[in-house]
Each structure stands twice: as C-alpha cells, then as structure tokens.
Chains A and B, each alone.
Chain A
Amino acid sequence: MLRFSAATVVLLSLATPTLAAAADPTAEQLLKRYDQVMSPRTFDGLLVMIAHRQDDTTRTYKFRALKSQDDKIRTWFFEPAAAKGQEMLRVEDNMWVYMPNLKRALRLASRESFQGGDFNNGDVLRVNYVADYNAKLIPAEDDKLWLLDLTAKSKEAAYDHIKLWMSKDKQQPAKAEYYAASGKMLRSAKFEDVKSFHGLERPAHMTMRNELATKRYTEMMWLDLKLDLDVPAQKFVVDDLGR
C-alpha cells in the first residue's frame, strides 16, 4: 500500500508540469512563481550593484545577502571601502541599517533608497509579492509575455502599483514598471541573463532605471546563490548586527 502511494505521488508530480503547461497560470500562480525565482524561501547570495549616475560615473557595491523564512533577510557590504562594515536587516515589516561609524543600528523605511542607488530597500530586502500585492492578469502586447497588474495590499509594500511582465516559456520575470499612488512611473526594471544557481533558474542580471532622472540606472548582478540553508535565528536579530 505504501509502495503504491509513493509511486502515485511520483507519477502525479511528473505529470504536474504537463498539466500546468496545458492551462494558463493564474495571476496568483505567476506571482508565487516570481517570489520563488527572485526570493527563494532561504538563500545565501553574493551580489554586485553598480549605480550609474547622472554625470556618467559609476559606484560599485559588493554585498552578501542571507535570507531565512519569508520575512528575514540580512546583508553585509564589502565594497566600496567607505561602505565596508555596513549591514542591513529586515525582520517582517522592520528594517535596520548598522552603521560602523555610528557603532549602532538605525531603523529604515522600506521606500528609502538602497545605498543611494535606484533600488529602494524594499526592492532588495522585501521581495514577497504574494504577501504585499494583489495581482490580476491583463492583456500584454507581446504574446510571449504575461502581464500582471499588481496593487499594494498595504503601505508597507515598496510600491503602490507595479506592472510585471513574465515570460510564458520559462515563467521568468522579464521587465517591470513601478508606480507611485499618483500614477507616476518611478522606476522601470529589466530582468536578463537567466542562469542556473544550484538548480534554481533565475535572472542573474537586473537593471533598475530611474524614470525621474532618466540618465540614472542601477544594475544588480548575482554572482552566486546557494539555497536550502539552515541558519540560526540569531543571525536575524538586531543585536547581532556588527558582529
């Protein structure tokens, strides 16, 4: 009986992608897929962020991001030298930044700029679209893409309104537009260079363009990503910052 049940489960799980491919995914399924790809439940990542500024110069940041459960994430900055030692922590709706010069942590808001670049803190530390947004599918001009219209469930979400395009073939994010409550577009993003990180396929390169200062944009590259980690809860405690 036990053997039969296991075989059934295996057969069903093999059949699931075929069934899924046959039917269009719902908005909720695509949103869940976005979260799985862009912010797996636990991960340890090494990232580089390059901020391109109005005067055509760049600023490069290298940092590590460690995530546990759906709502805990911590970052450590290694470069540039002026930012070395800085750390950021998000636990549920709370965010802190540890400033080595102040020797202490300060609270942060989700919508504040992430290291002065074109991402905001929520873009990096709060990727949980299922929890933060209501989604509906709307017609896309490009028939290779799904278009999701996202509306913030609460003011804690990074944006009031997002348009998110996802590819139909691999269900990967392709591009996005981020809006203020007034309807003004604040930023736009492109997701490129889909790679496999220890079995997880996801874009390794993301470009966020500031639509209010059009010469400014910021690239985020994932150099490495590990999944399914067991991290002690104490790594996500404000008193651990700076240790």
Chain B
Amino acid sequence: MRLLAATFRLLGFFLWLCAGSASAQESLDDLDASKKADSGKKVTAEVNGYVDNRFQYAFINPNTSLISTANQPSLQEILEGNIQLKLSFGSRAFVYSDVSLIYQNGWLFYDRDGMGGRTKIDDHDVATLRPFVAPSELYVSVSPKPWLNVLLGKKRIIWGSGFAFNPTDLINPAKDPTDPNFQRAGQWVARIELPFEKFTVSTLFAPQVLYQQNGLPFAMMKYPDYPLADGTKPADDAYHYLLAARLYLLLFNTDINLFYFFSNKYNDTFENASRFGASFSRYFFTDYELHVEALGQVGSGKTYPNHLCANGGACSLQTALAATKLQDGNLYPRVLVGGRTQFRDESTLSVEYYYQSDGYSALEFEDYLRLLSRAQMAGLTSAAQPMGGSSGAVPQRFTFDPLRRHYLILSYNKPKIRDDFAIGATLIAGLADLSGTISPSASWNAKEWLTLSLYGFVPIRGIPVGTVSVNDVSYSEYSLLPMDFRFLFEARAYY
C-alpha cells in the first residue's frame, strides 16, 4: 500500500509538471521564460514520455538451437512507463532524465523432449523477466561558454554514422537493428566537449558498471574486495574503463569523425588497448546518403573455439572458448558501408554492408557448433536468458551480435499507405550462409498521441551451400535462434 501511495504521489507530481509545461506558448517570450532563470529566480521543467505495452508470442523450437530454451517464454508481456524530465537552470545548464519503469512477465516455456520434439515445462521464475527500473539517461549538462560543454551522468552518445549498427560504438548497450528507435539506454560517462562552427572536439571517460540493482549501479570501475550477499566473488581487481577522444569535422558538406579509444577490460577482454575509428556521411546526387564507419584494432577480443577441444580432444571450460587472438598482433578492421534514400512516395530504403575481419571462418564456426554440441551433450549449456533487465537497459527483442564476417542489413519503410498507416521490413543476412532474419512491421498512428504496431520476426535458416553440418544436422548462423517465428503487438501512447 505504501508503494502504491508513493507511486500515486510521484504520478501526481509529474502530472503537475506536465500541466505546467503544457501551458499555451503563443509567443517567443512565453518560450523564453526559462531565460529569467539566469538571474537565479526560476527553474523550468519540461516533461514528456510514453506508456508502452508490448505483447509477444514466439514459437519456441528447442531443436533448432544448441542452447537450452528453458528460460525463453513463448508469451511475454512488457509494460513500460517512460518519463523524460528536463530541468533547465537558465540557458546554460540542465538536468535530464529518461527513466522507464518496466513490468514484465513470461509464460509457456518449452524444452526438448529427447525425441526431436518439444515438451512444455512448468512456468517458473526467470531473473531477467522480473520488473525493473531502466534509467536510460540521467545526466547534468553545463555549458559555461558557448564553446564548452561538460556532461556528467548516464547518456547514450553515438558518434558513428551507421544507421542500423555502429561498429565504432564501444560505449553503449547494443541496439536492435530491426528497430533502431528501441534501445534508449546509455552508459555512465564524464564528457567534455568543445563545439566550434566547423569542428567539435570531444573527450570522454566511461567507468564500467560492474554491479547494478534495478538499473542503478552500486559498483563501478573496480569490483569491491568482498563477495556479494548472493556469494558472487569479485571477478578481478582490475580497473574497467574506457577513455575516448573524437574530432568531428564538417568538411565539403561531409560529416567526418575521427576516434581514438583506450580501454582496459571495458565490456571486453582488451587490456590497456588502443583502438582507432573513423566515420563519414554525405549526400550525393541530392538524394543519396552514403556513410562509412570503421574501427581498427590490433588483436581481437572475440572468443574463439579450441579446435582440438571441439573435435573430441581433452579441454577445460577455460580454454574451450577463449580470446586467443587478443594479442596476436594482427590488425582486425570492422567496416560498415551503407546508403539511404527517400523515394518520391516518401518511402525510405537503407542498405548497409558490414564486414568484421575477426569473425569466424567456416572452420571456426564449425568448431564453435561442435563445442556447443559437446557442451549440450555434457549438460553444460546454460539456459539462454532474455536480454535486458539486469543490464539497466530495456529488454531487447533482438541484438545484432555477429559471429561471422560478412553481413547485409536492408531496411525499408513506407509511410502513408493510408494517411496514418506505415509498413516496413528489415532484413539482416549473414552472407556466408545466406541465413538471417526478416522483420516485417506495420504501424498505425491512430491518434497524434497513440501508435499501434505489429512486428514479425522470422529467422531464415540459410541455404545448404553455406551451412555447416555437425552430427549430421545442418546449421547456419541464424538457424541457432531458438524459434520458428515471433510476432509482437505494441501500443505506445505519448504524453
């Protein structure tokens, strides 16, 4: 009851703020009321956000995957209340928060029946399906001079030019390429930015969040010396952080970014490692946008299967999958090239090709599958967990985490099928085996404040030419997804 009362009080406070911000703005002087705060007399608040309900059904097929589906619900409900609050202190400083309260649950679980079919298992508790708070952004921004901005807090900062995917984004939680609007969460950072007319210099320090509860961190950069109450021991005594510098240039009508990253065990296994990146974006022939985004790194933080272990030799859990190319001295570029255009009927087409030189070769992919198969037979595979929840980010429908080297991402969106109806589709294809996913969508802006959407998600298992056989079963990269199809109905009301 106390929680309910507190919730209503909070809601009342935000409605009061909304009422304040919704007052009619019929002149520029109304809008500029916040400037009075320069004299210290007034703080202004702006509130907006949305309430979003997603209901999802997935046809779980445990036999297509080498990973247990015991924690993958067929039915899933996610109710999200989002509040974006901006408190301005004059024209030079503001505090911004983008927070979601998420209730979620899942039902109808299946696992293998041992005879090539599936069997229903009892509904049970899954840690990542519990309600949680996702503070996607929470930061203070101060601009003491027009050419100086200081930012402290959690923010999603994206510098690269890629549309569906950003290979130079070493900072943020991965986004869903089938719906780039979906993931809003950033990382905790301290940033100093010097913007000028034709160029910007940014420097950034990001300590890694090591432990968090309900989206709020309680250990950053270094593990505490003591174990957690649940028995979790400190993973190491290293400092986990990332330093980044970026130079942006607007040259010859082109956005050019140059990046430098220095990181130590920040979201990967690189230690005291330097990485470089660049991006480019420009319109050609009036209507055709072209972008390139590239990351250069010496060594790879990816884990690779041990060939002997995968093929029946003796091995341990530590060496079966290990970052064996971390210090091999080779350069492993990751490059995304893409373009976007809008046609006369206002439909938009985006095409992107992604290459990662540290992706698995055919042999490495086969070894990876053999390892999974061995682990499955030994009963070592952990049940796949739905994404989100514990990471402080919203639950992901799909995360692009490519295993191999060549990918194609196509997105098409056609608005105004009839005034408020739009359709779209996103295709992600692994070019090594022509497997992938296709995600059609249809949406209806029923009101200015209400959008109803229906999303499909269908894995394409690939063609026989590129697939890899393990124990007489053919696998492709996207055949590993433990479902035959999924659809999701979403209703989002803005306020």
Binding site for B on A (CB under 8 A): 44-46, 53-55, 57, 59-60, 62, 64, 78, 80-82, 84-85, 91-94, 99-104, 106-107, 109-113, 116, 155-156, 223-224, 226, 232-240, 243
| Complex contacts, A156 vs chain B, CB 8 Å | 286
Q: Could you tell me the distance in whole angstroms from the C-beta of A229 to the nearest C-beta in chain B?
A: 10
Q: Are the C-beta atoms of A233 and B419 separated by less than 8 Å?
A: no
Show 9 A/B contacts (Cβ-Cβ < 8 Å), sorted by A.
A85-B84, A92-B253, A93-B253, A109-B283, A111-B286, A116-B416, A223-B27, A226-B28, A239-B202
A107: chain B residues at CB < 8 Å are 255, 281-283, 289
B448 near A82 with CB under 8 A, answer yes
The listed residue (B156, B415, B448) touching A80 by CB distance below 8 A is: B448
Considering only CB atoms, which chain B residue lies closest to A212 in the complex? Answer: B344
Please determine whether A106 and B28 come into contact, CB atoms closer than 8 angstroms.
no
Q: Are A243 and B149 in contact (CB under 8 A)?
A: yes
A106 engages B448 (CB within 8 Å): no
A44 to chain B, nearest CB (A): 6
Q: Which residues of B sit under 8 angstroms from A112, Cβ to Cβ? A: 342, 346
Contact B48 A110 (CB under 8 A): no
In the complex, which residues of chain B have a beta carbon less than 8 angstroms from the beta carbon of A55?
A: 418-420
Interface centre among A81, A99, A111 (most CB of B within 10 A): A81
Task: Contact check, A91 vs B250: say whether CB atoms are below 8 A apart.
Answer: yes
Given A78-B25, A103-B158, A224-B27, A116 contacting B184 (CB threshold 8 A) = no
Chain B residues near A233 (CB-CB < 8 A): 146, 196-197
Return A156 CB to nearest CB of chain B, in Å.
Answer: 6
Q: Which residues of B contact A104 (CB under 8 A)?
A: 156, 158
In the complex, besides A85-B48, A155-B286, A233-B196, 7 extra interface pairs with C-beta distance below 8 angstroms are A45-B28, A55-B419, A104-B156, A106-B163, A109-B289, A233-B146, A243-B149
Bound CA span A238–B415, Å: 26
What residues of chain A lie closer than 8 Å to B419, measured between beta carbons? 53-55, 57
What CA separation (Å) do A104 and B184 show in the bound complex? 10
B8 at interface by CB-CB < 8 Å: no
| A79 to B156 CA separation, bound complex (whole angstroms) | 24
Determine how close the nearest CB of chain A comes to the CB of B266; give it in whole angstroms. 20
CA distance A236 to B28 in the complex (A): 19
Whether the Cβ atoms of A81 and B449 lie closer than 8 Å is: yes
Contacts of A109 in B (CB 8 A): 283, 286-287, 289, 341-342
Write the chain B residue with the least CB distance to A56: B419
Interchain CB contact under 8 A, A84 and B48: yes
Distance between B94 CB and nearest chain A CB, rounded to angstroms = 8
Nearest chain B CB to A67 CB, angstrom units: 13
Min CB–CB distance A201 → chain B (angstroms): 18
- Smallest CB–CB gap between B491 and chain A, Å? 13
> What residue of chain B has the Cβ atom nearest to residue A72's Cβ?
B197
Least distance between A64 CB and chain B CB atoms (Å): 6
- Chain B residues near A (Cβ < 8 Å): 25-29, 31, 48, 50, 84, 94, 137, 141, 143, 146-147, 149, 155-158, 163, 180-181, 184, 186, 193, 195-197, 200, 202, 248, 250, 253, 255, 281-283, 285-287, 289, 341-342, 346, 415-416, 418-420, 445, 448-449, 451, 494-495
Chain B positions within 8 Å of A235 at CB level:
146
Closest A residue by C-beta to B254: A94
Given A62, A110, A237, which contacts B196 in the complex, CB threshold below 8 Å? A237
Select which of B28, B180, B415 is within 8 A of A64 by beta carbon. B28
Inside 8 A of B163's CB, which chain A residues have their CB? Answer: 106
Complex Cα distance A232/B156, Å? 26
> What residue of chain B has the Cβ atom nearest to residue A237's Cβ?
B195
Picked from A46, A80, A85, A102, the residue with its CB within 8 Å of the CB of B27 is A46
- Return B414 CB to nearest CB of chain A, in Å: 12
On whether A238 and B26 interact (CB within 8 A), knowing A80-B448, A81-B449, A233-B197, the answer reads no
- Name the residue of chain B whose CB is nearest to the CB of A46: B28
Asked whether, in the complex, the Cβ of A234 is within 8 Å of the Cβ of B449, the reply is no
A80 to B196, Cβ gap below 8 A?
no
Is A62 touching B180 in the complex (CB atoms < 8 A)?
Answer: no
Taking a contact as CB atoms under 8 Å apart, the answer to whether B250 and A82 are in contact is: no
Q: A107-B255, A116-B346 are in contact. Are A101 and B248 (CB under 8 A)?
A: no
Residues of chain A within 8 A (CB-CB) of B286 are: 109-111, 155-156
Least CB distance from A57 to B in Å reads: 7
Complex contacts, A238 vs chain B, CB 8 Å? 200, 248, 250, 255
In the complex, chain A residues whose CB is within 8 Å of the CB of B184: 101, 103
* 9 A-B pairs closest in CB distance: A81-B494, A232-B146, A80-B448, A101-B181, A103-B156, A234-B146, A53-B419, A155-B286, A104-B158
User: For the complex, what is the distance from the CA of A81 to the CA of B493, rounded to whole Å?
Assistant: 9
How many angstroms from the CA of A106 to the CA of B166 in the assembled complex? Answer: 13
Across the interface, which residues of A come within 8 angstroms of B143, CB to CB?
243
* A104 nearest in chain B by CB position: B158
What residues on A are CB-neighbors of B346 within 8 Å? 112-113, 116
Task: Name, among B149, B248, B286, the residue most crowded by chain A CB atoms within 10 Å (CB to CB).
Answer: B286
Task: Find the A residue at minimum CB distance from B156.
Answer: A103
| Bound-state Cα–Cα, A238 to B248, Å | 10
Kindly list chain B residues whose C-beta atoms are within 8 Å of the C-beta of A54.
Answer: 418-419
Closest residue on chain B to residue A59 by CB atoms: B448
In the assembled complex, how far is the CB of residue B199 from the closest CB belonging to chain A, in whole angstroms?
A: 9
Instruction: Report A-chain residues with C-beta under 8 Å of the C-beta of B50.
Output: 81
Asked whether B283 lies within 8 Å of A44 as measured between CB atoms, the reply is no
Chain A residues with CB under 8 A of B141: 243
| A94/B146 in contact, CB under 8 A | no
Q: Take A109-B342, A239-B200 as given contacts and tell me if A81 and B495 are in contact as well, using a CB distance cutoff of 8 Å.
A: yes
CA distance A100 to B158 in the complex (A): 12
How far is B449's CA from A113's CA once the two chains are assembled, in angstroms?
20
Contact B448 A224 (CB under 8 A): no
Q: Which residues of A contact B195 (CB under 8 A)?
A: 234, 237, 239-240
From A180, which residue of chain B is reached at the shortest CB distance?
B344
Closest to B49 in A: A81
Please report the C-alpha to C-alpha distance between residue A188 and residue B64 in the assembled complex, in whole angstroms: 57
What residues of A have a CB within 8 angstroms of the CB of B281 in the complex?
A: 107
Residue from B137, B147, B494 within 8 A of A234 (CB atoms): B147
CB closest chain-A residue, reference B143: A243
The residue on A at minimum CB distance from B137 is: A103
Instruction: Give the complex CA separation of A25 and B333 in angstroms.
Output: 61
Bound-complex Cα distance A145 to B248 (A):
48
Are B48's CB and A224's CB within 8 A? no
- In the complex, the answer to whether A224 meets B181 with C-beta atoms within 8 Å is no
Q: Nearest Cβ distance between residue B159 and chain A, in whole angstroms?
A: 9
Closest partner residue, chain B, to A84 (CB atom): B48
